[in-house]
Amino acid sequence: MEKKTFSLDFEGRKLKVELGELAQQANGSVLLSYGETVVLATAVMAREPKANCDYLPLSVEFEERLYAAGKIKGSRFIKREGRPQDEAILSGRLIDRTLRPRFDQRIRQDIQVVVTTLSFDKENDPDILGIMAASLALGVSDIPFAGPVAGVRIGRINSEYIVNPIYSQRVESSFDLIVSGTEEKINMLEGDAREIPEEIILEAIGHAFESCQKLIKFQKEIIAAVKVKKAEPKIKEMDKTLEEKVKNFLASKLENAVYVQKEKREQTTELGELGKALVEYIKQGETEEVEEKVKAAWGIFEKEIDLLVHKSVLEKDKRPDGRKLDEVRAISCQVGILPRAHGSALFNRGATQALSVVTLGAPSEKQIIDGLEAEYKKRFLHHYNFPPFSVGETGRFSGPGRREIGHGALAERSLLQVIPAEENFPYTIRLVSEILSSNGSSSMASICGSSLAMMDAGVPIKTPLAGIAMGLMIDEKDPKNWKVLTDIQGPEDHHGDMDCKVAGSTQGICGVQMDVKVDGVNLEILKQTFKQAREARLFILEKITGAIAAPRAELSVFAPRIITLQINPDKIREVIGPGGKVINEIIAQTGVKMDIEDSGLVFITSDNAEAAQKALQWVKDIVREVQAGEIFKGRVTRLINFGAFVEILPGQEGLVHISELAPFRVNKVDDIVKVGDEVTVKVKNIDDQGRINLSMKDAAK
C-alpha cells in the first residue's frame, strides 16, 4: 500500500492518520497522532483456524514504550520493558471490550491486535487513541470486522462537558468516563465519578456518543479510500442433522436442568449430568469424526441454553433462580471476623462471597508508580483475588491475571472517591478482596465488602459504597423487545447480552463499567439499567449500614498510630542530618517509621505509643528554637582552649566560655569538665550568627 495521510480537527487538536509506511507485513496497520501522542496499531489474522478451538481467539495487547516519554527506568542491570504495567493491561482490556462484540463469534482463526505507544506528550492519553487506531487497523485490513468503532473520554468542569480532556483537566473534572460505540449503539463504558447523579452520567454518555460519530465518519472515509477486500473467514457450517439430534434430546430435559435447581452448585451438577448424557447419546452408533461431533454438540448445547434463558426472560419474566427481574439475591454482612486484621468483613450475595481485609500502614509504604506517565505515589490500593476454588475448580496459582487486575482496578477507582484526604488520615490503605465463592458480580461484592472492612477498621470514609451488576436480554429478531436484569448471576452473565457494573453511594455513581455481547445498547436501555441499579444499590446500602452504621471511632489495637508534626521547612535538614544520620538514629533507637514531606510535615508511625512519643519529643527538641534564659541539662561534647561545647538538644550545641564555667577564675577547662560529663547550663544569649552562648555559673545561681 502506498503511503496515505488523513487528518481531522477534533476537539481543537489535530488528529492525523498515516497508512502504508509502517508494519507493512501486518494485515492492517495504522499510525495515529493526536497532539504529540502517537500510537501504532497493527492487526493480524492467522491463515488457518486454530485447532481444537471453540471460541473466538482474539487477543488485544497494549504496549507501552518508555522512550515514548523520554524515560529510562528499571534496575541497574535491566533496562528494557518487562511485564506490562497495570495501566497498560487496563488499556488493553478497554480496547478489547470495544472490539470483541464486532467480530463474528464463529471465527476460529487467531486474531491479534497490538497497540504500541510510540510518543507521549503528557497531555493526551494513548488509551483513547488506541481504540480508534485498533478499529482503523482492522478496517483497512482484510480481516472480517463489523466496524468501525470509536471511543472518547468525557469529563465535566463547572457544568461544562469536555471531550478528550487533557490530564490537567481530568484532575478538575467531576468524573472521568470513556464511552465507545458504533454508528448506532453504545457498546462500552468505563469510568469513575465523584458521587454523580445518574441523569448527569447519562447526559454525558449521550454527549460523548455524538462525538464518537465524527470519528466513525472520519474512519469510514479512510476505509473507503483504501478499498480493501475482506477475507472470507473459515467458518465450519453447522451439521443440521446433528443440530436436530441435539435439540430432540434436550427438548424435555433442558428447562428442568436450568430452572428447577436454584443453587449454583446444584444447577451446575444438573447441567453437567445432562451434558454427559448428551455426549453418550451423540457417540452412539458414530464411528467417524466422533470427537468433532461431540465438540459441535457442546456448542449446540450452549446455544440452546442461551435461547432458553432469553425466551424465558423475555416472554415470562422468568429467571433461572426464580427471582423477579429487579430482585437482588439474599444478602448478609459481617464485620470484624479476623481478630488480628486492622479491619475485615465478609459480604455474601447469593452464592457470591467476598472476604475483604484492610491493612493500614505508614505514609512511606505508598506504592511508587513509574510507568509511561509521570512518577507518582498511591496511598490507596485495592487488590482482588479470584482463586479457582471460588468456582469449584482446580487451577494453577500464579500472579494476578488480566481479569483480576481489571476487577481490582474498577473497585479501587470507585472506592477512591470516598477515601478521606491524606491531611485528615495520613495512612497508606491497602485493601484485599478474596473471592471465596463466585456466582456473578464478584467485583461489585468486593466493593461492598471493602466498604464494610474500612468502616470496621475505623477508616473515616465519606460514605459506604455498594456495587451491583446489571444484565440484559434482547430479542435477536426484535431489538425493541428487551429486559434489564438486576444482580445477574452466572447463567445470566454467560448467556446474557450485557454486563453493566454500577457502584456508588446514596448520592450517586462512583464507578461504572459496561461491555456487551450484542452490537450495543441505546440510551433508553442505559436509563432503565441505571434506574434499577440505583434501587438495588440503596437496598444493599441498607444491609451494609445495618451491619455497621459508621466507621468505628477508634482504630484496631493492632493498627499502627501516626503522629503528625509540622516543622519549619528550613529545619528539615537538621532532622535528617548529614547522609540521614540523625533520622536513622531516631528510627534505630525508637523503632518507629518516619516520613518528612517538603512542606515540613513529619509523620511518625509506630505500634508502640511510648516509642512514638519518644521520637516525637526527639524531633521537637531538634527543631526547637532555644531562648535566652532557658536552663538545660546537657552533655559535654568537646573541649577547646577557651571553653567547652555542650549539646543541650539533639543536634544543637552551645559554647560555655572558660569564664562561665565557674564563679571563680579557671585556668584550664579540663580542670572543671571532661568530655561526656552531664552539666547544667543556662542560655546567656544567641548571637547574630545563631551561635548559642551558655553559662554554668549562672545556672548554679
Do 397 and 437 share a structural domain? yes
**What is d(CA 198, CA 536) in angstroms, rounded to the nearest whole number?**
14
Looking at the fold, whether 67 and 205 belong to one and the same domain comes out as yes
What is the sign, positive or negative, of the torsion defined by CA atoms of 71, 73, 77, 79? negative
Q: What is the pLDDT of residues 289-348, one digit of tens each?
A: 778 888 888 888 889 999 999 999 999 999 988 899 999 999 999 999 999 999 999 999
Q: Are 149 and 113 a contacting pair, CB within 8 Å? A: no
Write out the H or E segment, with its range, that includes residue 693: strand 692-695
pLDDT value of position 267: 63
Model confidence pLDDT, tens digit, residues 452-474 = 999 999 999 999 999 999 999 99
Does residue 203 sit in the same domain as residue 254? no
pLDDT of residue 262: 57
Q: Give me the DSSP letters along 243-299.
A: HHHHHHHHTTTHHHHHHT--SHHHHHHHHHHHHHHHHHHHHTT--SSHHHHHHHHHH
- Alpha-helical (H) ranges within 159-262 are 167-172, 198-226, 240-250, 254-259
If phi > 0 it is left, if psi is from -120 to 50 it is alpha, else beta; for residue 471 that is beta
Q: pLDDT (tens digit, 9 = 90+) per residue, 258-302?
A: 886 556 666 667 788 888 888 888 888 666 777 888 888 888 888
The whole-number pLDDT of residue 626 equals: 83
Q: Is-contact 322 313, C-beta < 8 A?
A: no
| Segment 401-408 mean pLDDT | 94
CA distance 134 to 130: 6
Residue 126 preceded by cis peptide, ω within 30: no
Residue listed under C-alpha cell 473466538? 56
What digits encode the pLDDT tens for the residues 560-592?
Answer: 999 999 998 988 998 999 999 999 999 999 999
What is the domain extent for residue 566? 561-623
Same domain as 480, residue 385: yes
The Cα–Cα gap between 515 and 99 comes to 10
Mean pLDDT of the chain: 92
Task: Report the pLDDT value the prediction gives residue 273, as an integer from 0 to 100.
Answer: 85
Q: Could you tell me if 391 and 274 lie in one domain?
A: no
Task: Quote the pLDDT of residue 147.
Answer: 86
* DSSP letter, residue 371: S
- Asked whether 463 and 551 are in contact (CB, 8 A), the reply is no
- Tell which of 490, 525, 547 closes a domain: 547
User: What pLDDT score does 79 carry?
Assistant: 84
Q: Which of 413, 389, 414, 383 is nearest to 401 (CA)?
A: 383
User: Domain for residue 107, yes or no?
Assistant: yes
Q: What domain count does the chain have?
A: 5
Query: Strands of 150-157's sheet, edge to edge?
Result: 160-163, 150-157, 175-181, 186-196, 509-516, 498-504, 466-474, 482-486
Same-domain status, 538 and 615: no
Say whether both 611 and 651 belong to one domain.
Answer: no
pLDDT at 295: 84
Domain contains 325: no
Report yes or no on 24 lying in a domain: yes
Same domain, 76 and 207: yes
Sign of CA dihedral 623, 626, 631, 637: positive
Nearest to 126 by CA among 5, 23, 33, 9: 33
- Pair 574, 583: CB distance under 8 Å: no
The verdict on residue 644 lying in a domain is yes
Phi and psi at residue 297, in whole multiples of 5°?
Answer: -65, -40
Let me know whether 163 and 244 are in one domain.
no
Q: What is the CATH number of the domain that holds 673?
A: 2.40.50.140
The model's pLDDT over 112-127, given as tens digits with 9 standing for 90+, comes to 999 999 999 999 999 9
pLDDT in tens, 605-630: 999 889 999 999 999 888 887 888 88
Q: Is residue 119 in a domain? A: yes
Q: What size, in residues, is the chain?
A: 701
- The pLDDT > 90 percentage for the chain reads 73
The 10 Å Cβ neighbour count of residue 663 is 11
Residue 32 and residue 20: Cα distance in Å, rounded? 12
DSSP label at residue 38:
E
Does residue 299 share a domain with residue 419?
no
End-of-domain residue from the set 316, 347, 374: 316
pLDDT per position as a tens digit, 427-442 = 999 999 999 999 988 9
Asked whether 697 and 662 are in contact (CB, 8 A), the reply is yes
Alpha-carbon span 415 to 358, nearest angstrom: 13
